[in-house]
Amino acid sequence: MEEESVGALWLTLVAEALFTAVFLRLLVGYLRRRDGLHRDVVVMFSAMAVLFVLAVLSQVVGEPPRPVEVAASVLLLGQPFLTLRVARRVGPVPAAVYWSAFAGWLVSAVLLAIGGEALSSSAVLLVVAVFVVTEIVAAWFLTRLAMARAGAARTRLWLAAAATALFAVAILLAGAGSGDPEAAQRARQAARLIAVVSAAGYLMAFAPPAWARRAWSNRAAYDVVRQLLQAPPDAPASQIWQCYAEAVRRATSSGGVVVLISAGDGPLEEVARVGVPGRPDGAHTTAARAELLGFSGSASVDDRRRPPPAEALEYARAGGLHFVTVAPLRLPTGAAVLLLLNTHRNLFTDDDVQLLGELAGQAAALGQRAELLTDRERLTGELSASVSALTVASKAKSDFMANMSHELRTPLNAIIGFSDLMRTEPAADGQTSVPTEWIGHIHSSGKHLLNLINEVLDLAKIESGNVQLRCQPVDVQEAINEVITTLEALSQRKQLDITVAVSPLRAHADRTRLRQIVTNLLSNAIKFTPEQGKIFVAARRVGHDVAISVADTGPGIAAEDQQRAFEEFQQVGGEHHRAGGTGLGLALTRRLVHAHGGRIELVSQAGHGAKFTVYLPTAGTPAAVEAGGARGGVLVIEDDPAAAELLSTPLRRAGYHVTVAASGEQGLATARANDPEAILLDIELPDIDGWQVLAGLKRDERLRHVPVLIVSVHDDAAVGVALGAVDYFVKPVDRTTLLTWMARHGLVPPGGDERLQVLAIDDDAQGLELIDATLSAEGIQVTTAASGVDGLAAARSRPFDLIICDLIMPGLDGFDVIAALHEDPATRGIPVVVLTAHILSEADRNRLSGKVIAIAGKTDTAEGLAEMARTVGELTGLTIRSNMVVA
């Protein structure tokens, strides 16, 4: 026998290696599924895998024993029958053909076992003929199956059929040319090449890469979508789903197809059905929904190890079908399931499920087309109404701009005009003397301009939900009297009679915002009440609320204008009754009242004055709630006790009231009961996750404006902010970062009766007096020291929340004081603010780096000190009792 070349040996090994790769891939799939179909496919490729192993072993340990070679050859001769057996499992194959193929294999095996290498030429031809004919028959049945399928499954069946036919040709050539050695050698070489191609075809059919499967599915997807698009534009969803079911049946050659859909959490309802006679009894329950959505894949109706869902089983039995494929579909409108019912198994189920799952989304979109057309007509009407509303809004905006330009020009003209006059006044000895009236005009015009801008900015803050309220018990009588005193000059100018009837009451409100509400209402009454008219201010308790009312004897507001009176940029009434202003006062007042959880009412008749009543919660309401579980404060929603402790401990030490909820549901309930001022939210929670909690908070009208800080181990800041969180921290969060964030969002801890302790060190006695007076008015306890030595001694004598230190002092200057404070462990944790009138050099700033938290310029004006007081208030609120170490 002529020795074959090395190249021929390598071709043989390549072909057998490819067959072995297919075998191993299918073996893994079978071990995962363990069903009869995949077992038969694995056995179909086992012969070539065995031959490959024997060929490799022969190169290492020599030729295998004769019985092993015979057994491997017998298994190889059975490959056509095993292929036909796989085809019979997935499609109809006549019994006569099937058993004839088995008989041919049996005869070939007997001849090979008896004759061995001495097999006669006629016997060889018989064996080769049986192999080739059976293989061609198997390829034919695979081709018929491919013609009835679509998408990736169709292409894979075509490849399997072609590979089977090529393998038959390879065997035919290998057995040809026995009379001519040279011709036989050429035939065997061609056979090896064809076997390599056949093996590659099998590999692409049974183990294709993902990109190939997607590419094959695209054409089928296009055909099915084209069929769906042929439905009329106004076709109802039921017609679209019926068209989809029919297209699925054609694409998969299924005996029956059922589509089940659920719009919410209820049972799955049948929307389309083809090939099965009627709806099974007792189906479409909530339990059936869970069973269907939890099952994916194929199963026989007789499978006891992994039986199909009961509802799918009923459909199959009603249609006399034996195999079920369940494919859960993901639709934007809810859950859905596709049932494929067949007489035979499906060879490439995964491809069908992927293709049909993608097309279900297209069907759902088309099914909504009729609804969308109806919605479009409705939206067209709404759009028309919106255009009209926008026209009105545009006119209101134009009116607002006109009013604003007038309101801005008036004070600006006064400021510019009188300042120009001051510039032109003659100077004497380098000093210019100007009338005090001019200074008064500039000062009052500047204040008017500032109030106007603040009013617009306040409205914008409330509109965006960024307004921060520091609610506390407020003496209503005191607040009203303060406002009346402030507006006394305006009321006296018009000789108005203001009657006040206020009971001793305390409201739970932001003191500054409450004064702003009363000021807006009272100034409105003064503005519109004619000279020598009357205004009545009253406050009384109504249930759990404090009712503050302002009534006047002005022109009143007609019923049709009363709602519009609270809209932005609006002024109601006739032209002769309108007054200057932007039309923002009542809109701003209403937003502030709503931000407090209150309401505002208007009672008026044209020509008979107007009465505005504001309802705010009494101060007793929070106290009563606090007895059982404090309202406000900070809510930490965190299921890990250690993580919750790391967040809550520094907050409690800083003076905040902290409530911890260990789950998402508990967090939502606690938030609704306690109205927290801020919420710290973890994402990974045991019941509902943090994203669902955040969505629930934003849906609640009362809680939607509460700032939410997400604290998570995952860095999904963009998602968190997009869903409504104000900030996002990745664990772990250090104490300084957390407390700084609280202060930056205006969340200062309640101090109770304990005043904040500030030490001011300055050699300027007037400066100390001004600091003391200004900060004391803000409720801050100030201790003063007139030198660096005294200041250092005071700082070491008792704890302070903040130290304000001048730099330029005789003896021990500010730099030395700050250095000594930083070196002493007892004072190192006290935050220090530098107060200086000098511009610091780079070297000076380097000396202070890491030892102070802020550098502020000295000021000798009340406004400047008030601003400093607010800054100090935030800093002390941030650091109170927290022993914060400044880096």
State how far the Cα of 252 lies from the Cα of 339, in Å rounded to an integer. Answer: 12
Radius of gyration of the chain measured on its C-alpha atoms = 44
Tokens at 387, concatenated:
């255009």
Q: What is the mean pLDDT of the chain?
A: 77
Tokens at 552, concatenated:
């006047």
pLDDT of residue 679: 93
Range with the poorest average pLDDT among 85-89, 464-468, 704-708: 464-468
Q: Is the distance from CB of 670 to CB of 635 less than 8 angstroms?
A: yes
Other beta carbons within 10 Å of 59: 9
pLDDT of residue 883: 30
Residue pointed to by tokens 């940029």: 569
pLDDT, mean of residues 736-760 = 66
pLDDT, mean of residues 559-586 = 63
pLDDT of residue 815: 92
Each residue of 23-54: pLDDT tens digit? 777 777 767 767 677 787 778 777 777 766 66
Closest CA relative to residue 586, chosen from 597, 604, 601, 607: 601
pLDDT of residue 727: 86
697 has pLDDT over 50: yes
Q: Looking at residue 611, what DSSP letter applies?
A: E
Other beta carbons within 10 Å of 637: 31
Each residue of 783-829: pLDDT tens digit? 889 899 889 988 887 777 788 999 988 888 999 999 999 888 778 77
pLDDT, mean of residues 173-195 = 70
pLDDT, mean of residues 546-550 = 89
In three-state secondary structure terms, 748 is coil
pLDDT of residue 490: 81
101 has pLDDT over 50: yes
DSSP, residue by residue, 755-792: PEEEEEE-S-HHHHHHHHHHHHHTTEEEEEESSHHHHH
At 186, the pLDDT band (50, 70, 90 cuts) reads: confident
State how far the Cα of 260 lies from the Cα of 312, in Å rounded to an integer. Answer: 11
The dihedrals phi and psi of 568, each to the nearest 5 degrees, come to -65, 145
Beta partners for 259? Answer: 272, 338
Q: What is the pTM of this model?
A: 0.39
State how far the Cα of 107 lies from the Cα of 579, in Å rounded to an integer. Answer: 113
State how far the Cα of 20 lies from the Cα of 56, in Å rounded to an integer. Answer: 12
Of 751 and 8, more confident: 8
Other beta carbons within 10 Å of 424: 7
Residue pointed to by tokens 């409450």: 514
Of 425 and 665, more confident: 665
